[in-house]
Structure 1
Amino acid sequence: MNVFSQLPNISNLRREYTKGKLNRKDLPDNPLILFDYWLIEACKAYLPDPTAMILATVDSNGQPYQRTVLLKQYDVKGLVFFTNFGSRKVFHFNKNPNISLHFLWHLFDRQLMILGRIEKLSIEETLKYFRERPRESQISAWVSKQSSYIKSREILEKTFIKMDDKFKNREIPLPNFWGGFRVKVNTMEFWQGGKHRLHDRFLYKLEDNVWEINRLAP
């Protein structure tokens, strides 16, 4: 029996990209300005998870991995997210701090690829964000030994209840195995979909503290 027999002919699934254009004369010297504009537009349009970004890492054997994380802060110093220090991604960071990020905003026919290096946030920076999280999210940081094998979801739920009771009526401390990372950006590639697959692609690359800008063929 062919388990794929009910699938449509996906080779014929396509559409035209007509939501906008990118012109060289309109690009800012600093790509973070354009990133800020695109992200604000995505948030104002109430896109689902507008801050979701694919984080790609490579293990010690050269095997790439990807997962979605949420952008929590950004400024001229870089882009920030938070995770468990025992997670697979952090093991990869320790071997190879070079990473890639990818944003996809379908409604605007936009993609953004970012290359950079990982650096760990200070405890003070992490604690400030941790205090802003909902109480349940603070507890969940204690519950999950991220990327480790578990036998059932029931184990997670029981541990959550246990931790909820342990920290009842008091401030939840910052776990020493959880914190933030900043991506120090050195490359940003903006993609704006265009008609007839003639997309607009612009590559920003940091060279001697100056952003070089080049148009790429689609």
Structure 2
Amino acid sequence: MTGDTPAPAAMRNEYAADQGLSETDLAADWYTQFDRWFADAVAFPLPEPNAMIVGTADAAGRPSGRTVLLKGYDPDGFVFFTNYGSRKGAEAAANPWASLVFPWFPMQRQVVVAGRVERIDRAETEAYFATRPRGSQLGAWASSQSQVIPDRAALDDAYRAVAERFADVDQIPPPPHWGGLRVRPASVEFWQGRVGRLHDRLRFRRTEHGDWVTERLAP
């Protein structure tokens, strides 16, 4: 997202590079600003506006990243779901700091979040799990996410075994090793592409006293 590549005409009309992001346009808090931009991304429309890159690191500080779907957000943070035994789940437990990046390339926008990770309440996990398609529910039981498996057949066999196990169960419960993670922001940066690489970067940052400040970063 350099701002140097010409945008399609449709995008230039709605998100012109000289539109920018000014302090006077910024909402009073990060949540309201994110809600505005997320609504823009949905209306654009982007194919999966809730896709985000989740970065975690192990206890030694070795990082890893992957694309995950955001499943909820509120003033307390951003929520996604995973197998707690997966790489991201294990790293979040060992080093409870993470980053999120929403790469809304066609709009020349991105949102970058950094904050602490915590498990959500089990009741919230159960409520969300109940809304998932049955196949996804079975998959959560069948897959030992991020673990080495011998071949595809092993995964398919595990899925069939789980399907048989829950064949007579109307509502499959979430596995004990599966649930939600919430990233509570310490900072949320809103990046708007501009021409000549003079992008707008406005950040909400929580201070050590617990209040929030806004600051402009050089591009």
- Relative to the length of structure 2, the TM-score reads 0.89
After the TM superposition, list the runs of 4 or more consecutive aligned residues in structure 1 that deviate by more than 6 angstroms.
none
RMSD: 1.4
Matched residue type, 1:63 = R
8 Å contact from structure 1 (residues 21, 192) kept in 2: yes
What is the CA–CA distance in structure 2 between the aligned matches of 1:62 and 1:176, rounded to whole Å? 27
Q: Secondary structure at the match of 1:26?
A: coil
Matched residue type, 1:194 = R
- The yes-or-no answer on 1:198 pairing with 2:188 is no
Change (3 A) 1:35 1:146: same
TM superposition shift of 1:61: 2.2
Q: What CA deviation, in whole Å up to 9, does each residue of 1:176-195 have, x standing for no partner?
A: 11001111111011110001
* Paired residues for 1:85-100 under 5 Å: 85-100=84-99
TM superposition shift of 1:16: 4.0
TM superposition shift of 1:60: 2.1
Matched residue type, 2:212 = W
* Paired residues for 1:13-24 under 5 Å: 15-16=5-6, 19=15, 20-24=19-23
Q: What CA deviation, in whole Å up to 9, does each residue of 1:67-96 have, x standing for no partner?
A: 111110111111100000111112211221
The aligned residue for residue 142 of structure 1 is 141
* Paired residues for 1:45-124 under 5 Å: 45-124=44-123
What is the CA–CA distance in structure 2 between the aligned matches of 1:86 and 1:209, rounded to whole Å? 32
What is the CA–CA distance in structure 2 between the aligned matches of 1:151 and 1:82, rounded to whole Å? 25
Matched residue type, 2:5 = R
* Paired residues for 1:25-64 under 5 Å: 25-64=24-63
The aligned residue for residue 181 of structure 2 is 181
Consecutive unaligned residues of structure 1, counting only runs of 5 or more, are 1-13
* Paired residues for 1:137-176 under 5 Å: 137-170=136-169, 171-176=171-176
What is the CA–CA distance in structure 2 between the aligned matches of 1:46 and 1:162, rounded to whole Å? 40
- Relative to the length of structure 1, the TM-score reads 0.89
- How many percent of aligned residue pairs carry the same amino acid? 42
Consecutive unaligned residues of structure 2, counting only runs of 5 or more, are none
TM superposition shift of 1:162: 2.1
